[in-house]
Amino acid sequence: MIGILIFPDFQLLDAAGPISVFEIAARASGKPLALRVLALNAGPVRSSSGVEMMARDFKSANAITTLVIAGGAGVAEAARCEVTRAFVQRLAKRGARVASVCSGAYVLAEAGLLDGRRATTHWGRTRDFVARYPRVKFEPDQIFTRDGNVWTSAGITAGIDLALAMVTEDQGEEIAQATARQLVLYHRRSGGQSQFSSLLELKAPNGRFGGLLSWARENLDAPLTVEELADRAGMSARHFARAFAAETGTTPSKAVERLRLEVARERVQSSREAIELVAETTGFRDPERMRRAFIRAFGQPPQALRRAARAG
């Protein structure tokens, strides 16, 4: 049985998206839907939109084998709730598959279930999440992650991707594809695909270096050294490096590498270009250098990401 955990001020789509996936998958497979919506207190639970969802309390969760935790504006209070944390810990301890959508990852983190594990959440929560939970192997640029029986997903619609991956594991690729078609999803995304733009995560478009980074993204085949960027910004290299780090939270060289990785991965996953050509035109030059950068950033070489994208 699948449980969907909600709380006051939860994000409605975080719960409704996976529910719809599991409902349609059950219909496609001809099996009855075994799903319960759960909350600390039984009864109507108000979402952040004002729409309510009926829930049962935790006492009715004895048959739960998969738990999906919604995110939303009220997640901080839910994550601080000792009863909620104990409930999630108890399910995980007995071997249930536990998962989060968007900021629902905070509940898993507060329960200690993400320590030493790979995890993700909404890109807008990245800095806060990393600061709060340094023991988590955080992967900000992922649609969803799986580490053992613990799954996490990025913002809102990524919960649909996570649920589809669970359907694939439980009922096979054919049922998952039929479910995706019924949901009118053009392409079921693999977990390794990017959830956001590096420019957005750097908060650069609205800052004083926004134009510079947008230019850099369009000229990745140029050297893009600190000196070149500083000159274009009309600053000394030393002053530029300090000011850039203060505003974006990273160094110019790391920001450029992230932009190169973003564009390179888009092309690796969506085209049939030779890996060598992608490396050359995105500024990595050497395919081996790009391969090492991919492994550092995504845990996989370009060829593996291409295979996963085609399989998805």
The CATH code of the domain that includes 206 is 1.10.10.60
Top mean pLDDT of 79-93, 118-132, 163-177 is at: 79-93
- Domain end residue (candidates: 158, 182, 206): 182
Does residue 35 lie within any of the structural domains? yes
By C-alpha distance, which of 21, 288, 254, 271 is closest to 144? 21
Active site residues: 102
Task: Give CA separation, 297 vs 30, 141, 177, 213, 254, in Å.
Answer: 41, 9, 29, 20, 11
User: What confidence category does residue 87 fall into, taking pLDDT thresholds of 50, 70 and 90?
Assistant: very high
How does DSSP assign 22-55, residue by residue? HHHHHHHHTPPP-EEEE-SSSEEEEBTTS-EEEE
Based on the fold, state whether residues 275 and 137 are members of the same structural domain: no
Based on the fold, state whether residues 217 and 114 are members of the same structural domain: no
Based on the fold, state whether residues 26 and 120 are members of the same structural domain: yes
Does residue 188 lie within any of the structural domains? no
pLDDT of residue 311: 59
Total domain count for the chain?
A: 2
More confident residue, 169 or 91: 91
Based on the fold, state whether residues 105 and 245 are members of the same structural domain: no
Is residue 152 classed as helix, strand or coil in its secondary structure? strand
The answer to whether the beta carbons of residues 221 and 290 sit under 8 Å apart is: no
Does residue 17 lie within any of the structural domains? yes
- Least confident among 17-31, 149-163, 189-203, 258-272: 189-203
pLDDT of residue 136: 92
Does residue 223 lie within any of the structural domains? yes
Does residue 190 lie within any of the structural domains? no
Based on the fold, state whether residues 57 and 147 are members of the same structural domain: yes
pLDDT digits (tens, 9 = 90+) for 195-227: 445 554 554 445 678 888 889 988 999 999 999
* Structure token digits, residue 191: 């977990």
- Domain end residue (candidates: 122, 152, 182): 182
Does residue 49 lie within any of the structural domains? yes
How does DSSP assign 106-118, residue by residue? HHHHHTTTTTTSE
CATH code of the domain in which 73 resides: 3.40.50.880
Based on the fold, state whether residues 247 and 274 are members of the same structural domain: yes
Does residue 259 lie within any of the structural domains? yes
Q: Domain containing 81: what range?
A: 2-182
